[in-house]
Chains A and B, each alone.
Chain A
Amino acid sequence: MCFVISVMQHSRLKSQQNGIINKIILKCLSNFQENKTFNVNSLNQCFIYSASHKRAMVKATKQKKERLGANIHNLLEQNHKLTDYYQIRKSDRRTKREVQEERKKLLEYALRKGVEDGLEVKCIENKGRGVFTTRDFLKGEFVVEYSGELIDISEAYRREKKYGMDENTGCYMYYFKYDGHHYCVDATEETEKKGRLINHSRTGNLLTRTIIVESIPRLALIAKTNIQKGDELLYDYGDRSKESLRHHPWLAC
């Protein structure tokens, strides 16, 4: 009996472990009672119980830890998620306005940087020079700028007369209207720029768009359809006046 009590003192009982220890004590007691006498065998059993008690303690702390973990888990379980209220936006899903603005920005960027990649100039028999693609272009993609000198309409007429005198000068004047004003981009002067060399077709694969960059209107040629690598770039010059047709009959096709 005295031995069992010393176990009790030794283990400094915590309230929640009371039950486990009590069970061990009871078991010990019953063992002692059965054996009646204090012998080596029962002492051994006592040690076995103390070991099992230790195991029980370990088990209890483990359970406690698990409970704590569950608490943290519960804590999260108890909270709504933001995704219950707001939808996750797919990265490429934006409002129409955002997309348009971004496209405009990209266009302005391309114009400012003078982007001209994916293009090559080739000579075509009976037609002269033409511009061909060296990569695919997607519909709506910026292809090249029709770059030249921006002049007003009266200056354009004056120059056209001058150019008309010389049979060898081609037709490189692009007339357009923006915000009620008539403008012309004169690309007659031979430059590195490829935009001026693109040929005419009424059913071309490019469209022209006027873009304002730093308050100056500029002409961007945009892919009208998906363009495959190796295709010739063409757009509608839009000039069907009798005078032009007499000089350049190909404008009709």
Chain B
Amino acid sequence: MFEARLVNSVTFKKVLDAIKDLLNEASFDCSEAGIQLQAMDNSHVSLVSLALRSDGFDKYRCDRNLTMGMNLASMSKIFRCSSNDDTVTIKAQDDADTVTFMFESKKQEKISDYEMKLMNLDQEHLGIPDTDFSCVIKMPAAEFARIVRDLSQFGESIVISCTKEGVKFSTSGDIGSANVKLAQTSNFEKEEEAVIIEMQEPVTLTFACQYLNSFTKATPLANQVQLSMSDNVPLVVEYQIPDLGHLRYYLAPKIEEDEN
């Protein structure tokens, strides 16, 4: 028996919105520790890694480890049927081929449940080692989304270069080029508006806009986003989901011209 109850169903809705751009379907691995999801997009260029801790749920029970393959479009259809302040309960029997989502309205006067067929997905998991990154940038999530959106108008890829002075996002395309520089904030009063850079050595990497844009769909989940970069490893874009877990995106860099 698997049962997970979350008073704020809107959080789950936001998580879905944040991943359904990149993934059509995904396996949710449920264990006593919580719910995990790891999946690459079709092109194998990016990866989504979601972890929701069991203690972040208002009620959590998982007698036996189970993997639930779900179609994310269908899942978001179901969540669209709920109100933001509904409580959601996700239920599945051991070895079941369906999962049930139950929504209870705040005053308990309306209870709706939706049963969805599970899928058998043959998904490849990647073994991701712990890496010490050369640069870790923390910045407001909305600011990151804005920069990516603005720069994607000009080119197909964004160069992120991180130095002691700050972080620079740049792109160039048919109409010209664009640069956005962010300096570290010296004023730490407002934590959520801060730009903090921890740097061991400077890094410059190029990434495809298309994927970065998809990552920023997670912006509603968190105030801050963390970008971790090192030479020759994928970029990690991490959003902390308050009291529940995290959502991480991995993105392989573009092949530089001199590499060919």
Contact = CB atoms under 8 A, between A and B. Distances in A.
Interface stretch (A59-67, A78-86, A195-203, A217-225): A78-86
Interface string B117-130: 00000001111110
B193 interface: no
Contacts of A105: 32, 65
A89 B125 contact: yes
15 contacts: A76-B43, A79-B43, A79-B252, A79-B255, A81-B43, A81-B252, A82-B40, A82-B234, A82-B251, A86-B47, A86-B129, A86-B250, A87-B126, A87-B127, A102-B65
Nearest to B211: A79
Contacts of B64: 109
Given A75-B208, A79-B45, A82-B234, A88 B252 contact: no
B208 A79 contact: yes
Nearest to A102: B65
A91 interface: yes
Interface residues of B, number: 27
A96 to B, nearest CB: 14
A109 B156 CA distance: 52
A79 B254 contact: yes
Scoring B46, B65, B127, B250 by chain A CB atoms within 10 A of each residue's CB, the highest score goes to B127
A92 to B, nearest CB: 11
A43 B234 CA distance: 65
Contact of A89 (B32, B44, B47, B127): B127
Interface in A76-116: 76-89, 91, 102, 105, 109
B195 to A, nearest CB: 27
A82 B47 CA distance: 8
A81 B250 CA distance: 11
Contact of B125 (A78, A85, A91, A109): A91
A8 B67 CA distance: 66
A85 B250 CA distance: 11
B253 interface: yes
A97 to B, nearest CB: 13
A82 B46 contact: yes
Contacts of B252: 79-82, 84-85
B250 A80 contact: no
Given A76-B45, A82-B40, A109-B63, A89 B126 contact: yes
A80 B253 contact: yes
A85 B40 CA distance: 13
A87 B44 CA distance: 12
B26 to A, nearest CB: 15
Nearest to A113: B63
Contact of A85 (B63, B156, B233, B254): B233
Nearest to A93: B127
B179 to A, nearest CB: 21
Contacts of B125: 88-89, 91
Nearest to B233: A85
A45 to B, nearest CB: 42
B236 to A, nearest CB: 11
A57 B234 CA distance: 44
B126 A83 contact: yes
Contacts of A83: 40, 44, 126
Contacts of B254: 78-80
A86 B45 CA distance: 11
Contacts of A75: 156, 208
Contacts of A109: 63-64
Contacts of A78: 254-255
Contact of A86 (B65, B127, B255): B127
Contacts of B232: 85
A244 B127 CA distance: 54
A82 B208 contact: no
Contact of B44 (A77, A81, A91, A102): A81
A3 B74 CA distance: 61
Given A79-B252, A82-B250, A102-B65, 7 more contacts: A76-B45, A77-B255, A80-B254, A82-B126, A82-B234, A88-B127, A89-B124
Interface in B193-237: 208, 232-234
A61 B24 CA distance: 32
Contacts of A79: 43, 45, 208, 252-255
B203 to A, nearest CB: 15
B124 A88 contact: yes
Nearest to B252: A80
A184 to B, nearest CB: 30
Nearest to B256: A78
